[in-house]
Structure 1
Amino acid sequence: MTLAIETEQLTKRFGSVTAINDLSLSVPSGTVYGYLGPNGAGKSTTIDILLDLVRPSEGTARVFGYDTQASPIAAREHIGVLLDGFKPYPAVTGREHVELAATARGVSTDPATVLARVGLEDAADQLAGEYSKGMTKRLGLAMALVGGPDLLILDEPSTGLDPHGIVMMREIIRTEVDRGATVFFSSHLLDQVEAVADRVAIINDGSLLVEDSVESLKSGLEDETTVKIRIEDPASEQLRELQTNTDSLETVNSVRIDGRTLIARCRSQAATATVVSAVEESQATIDTYEVEQPSLEDIFKTHTDGDE
């Protein structure tokens, strides 16, 4: 398996503060890799090391096999990057920014085509200083796409984008992966990561807490598959009896009543069917019911204790 990014025992200290602690990551080529953690967890420091903007105190980082300290130029040749703090030159147009990016990468490109991909075709000759926050983010993404890099590093790419822009971002990410690129995607918008990521790493206090596919992480959660059953015109005593009977099921961890809705937290998705059957057998009339699967946010909270 080819690795787009590999870090081994990566550590970075700023004085007495350890920003990254013994961090080992493996990012397979051709995947979307979500990199998550609370504020101050070490995400930006990791990206800075990959770009050789910061040197590690210990350990190594490699991009497609190139050590980012020993061969930083060779590593950067594979990377297109959109940093969270990207700011364009205010007196330069969008078209000129893309041309500058092409010159820096030593490639030829059609600025109009690149800007059209990010929805800036009508603002190509507008000064970047007149761009909105969302347009600025789109421009940064356009510059990152120049030359078709093997690795896209996107730091909080959805910040400042409207819903249409977020959909555009997702589509571009999937298109880039389809052509063979790797996307390393750092974000606090967990639903956005879940929508596109193949694998996820969660870090906190500079240390790796978990790294796996989203589906594997979900399947590893207990007490997170919930069924909500809304009862049609129940009597209060009927609800109490339903709660007692459901709570006695071995496959159920907890049950509560909210209005006329019974909410059961189950040990597995299959267990929710047992709860629905028990309610039906009680002669209660089910109005509606829904099953909630664990989300990436649940996983994040489980591993970070809800830190922000």
Structure 2
Amino acid sequence: MTDTDLIIETEQLTKRFGPVTAVSDLDIEVPAGSVYGFLGPNGAGKSTTIDMLVDLVHPTSGAARLFGLDTRSSPVEIRRRTGVLLEGFTPYPTLSGREHVSLAASTKDAAVDPATVLERVDLHEAMDRRAGGYSRGMTRRLGLAMALVGEPDLLVLDEPTAGLDPHGVVVLRRIIREENERGATVFFSSHVLSQVEAVCDRAGILSDGRLVAEDDVQELRETVGGETVLRARIRTDGPMSAVRDRVDDVDGVQEVHLEDGELVAVCESEAVIARVLSAIDQSGATVPSFETDGRSLERVFESYTDEV
């Protein structure tokens, strides 16, 4: 693979805060046109890495390049071509959603219809409300809308599903696929394996600031193995049996039944969970809460970190 094939490349990227090493000798390669999942438990160094990629934090040593450009010497050109949603994004409380998108457009000198962008993230009905009154999920979707401004060549999303309800997760996944089909490269961090399995073609696992594994998602899925059980509380105006039948048609669902007012689906892998939630959403029902019971990402981390 040549440098021109890579959108993100790091070489021994390291960040220390006093005696604490947050990221150590990180070497990652993100191919152009890929959807790359950056996996790791909370505190693994994912946000610090992203902060270095977008030049909010300078590395202690090593280097990072986006589009073949050094992040330290070419930050303006890199930001022009990159859409970013940081984990700690906080809106201006007195500005509306529409005004936030207009502000993002002005910083990139991009012509955009704020209403169109906000409709993509399902915020069109709240676009003229002050963002200080938005819920956490609405705030995340507003940040995503701002990242989409200008049709960036690269989307960098830090824990984009944090605070999103199941419908919001479905919307996010749809947008990631649409942006990738448009030609954008997507790099996003998560501590939830199913989020990465659903949309990514490649992933890296970070533990204690070190990259302990990097592979295509199919290989990681085979490593995880085992079935996963989804228990979802359903809210619907129609019969629950109709939702059950819709889920039963999802590829990868081995069994589905109703139990104490919950829908219980036995899935062949965590990746199927995303398809089940999407099917429930398409049926017109909502999911106020859900939980899964299966091999978690922490087990995958253990299988790698025990060896390093």
1:4–1:182: 8 Å Cα contact kept in structure 2?
Answer: yes
Find the counterpart in structure 1 of residue 231 from structure 2: none
Find the counterpart in structure 2 of residue 66 from structure 1: 69
Give how far 1:217 is off: 2.8
- Quote the Cα distance in structure 2 between the aligned partners of 1:225 and 1:49: 36
Q: Deviations over 1:151-182 (max 9, x none)?
A: 11111111111111100000000000000101
Q: Deviations over 1:25-64 (max 9, x none)?
A: 0001111100011222111110010111111111110001
Structure 1 counterpart of 2:156, which letter? I
1:5–1:27: 8 Å Cα contact kept in structure 2?
Answer: yes
Q: 1:11 aligns with which of 1, 14, 22?
A: 14
Give how far 1:225 is off: 5.2
- Quote the Cα distance in structure 2 between the aligned partners of 1:113 and 1:291: 36
- Quote the Cα distance in structure 1 between the aligned partners of 2:195 and 2:220: 16
Q: 1:75 to 1:291 in 2, by over 3 A?
A: closer
Whether 2:239 is the aligned partner of 1:214: answer: no
Which structure has the larger Rg?
A: 1
Give how far 1:65 is off: 0.5
Q: How many corresponding residue pairs?
A: 241
2:156–2:186: 8 Å Cα contact kept in structure 1?
Answer: yes
Structure 1: tracts of 5 or more residues without a match? 227-289
Find the counterpart in structure 2 of residue 39 from structure 1: 42
- Quote the Cα distance in structure 2 between the aligned partners of 1:111 and 1:68: 29
Q: Deviations over 1:113-160 (max 9, x none)?
A: 000000011111111011111111110000000000011111111111
- Quote the Cα distance in structure 2 between the aligned partners of 1:28 and 1:190: 20
Q: 1:109 to 1:292 in 2, by over 3 A?
A: closer
Structure 2: tracts of 5 or more residues without a match? 228-265, 271-294
Find the counterpart in structure 2 of residue 76 from structure 1: 79
Q: 1:293 to 1:137 in 2, by over 3 A?
A: closer
Give how far 1:14 is off: 1.0
For normalisation by structure 2, the TM-score amounts to 0.74
Structure 1 counterpart of 2:303, which letter? T
Find the counterpart in structure 1 of residue 208 from structure 2: 205
Q: 2:130 aligns with which of 127, 137, 140?
A: 127
Whether 2:25 is the aligned partner of 1:22: answer: yes
1:120–1:139: 8 Å Cα contact kept in structure 2?
Answer: yes
Aligned Cα RMSD in Å? 2.0
Give how far 1:291 is off: 8.8
Q: 1:68 to 1:43 in 2, by over 3 A?
A: same
Matched residue of 1:134: which SS? helix
Structure 2 counterpart of 1:12, which letter? K
Find the counterpart in structure 1 of residue 145 from structure 2: 142
- Quote the Cα distance in structure 2 between the aligned partners of 1:85 and 1:188: 16
2:38–2:188: 8 Å Cα contact kept in structure 1?
Answer: yes
Find the counterpart in structure 1 of residue 300 from structure 2: 299
Q: 1:61 to 1:119 in 2, by over 3 A?
A: same
Map of 1:90-169 to 2, 5 A cutoff?
90-169=93-172
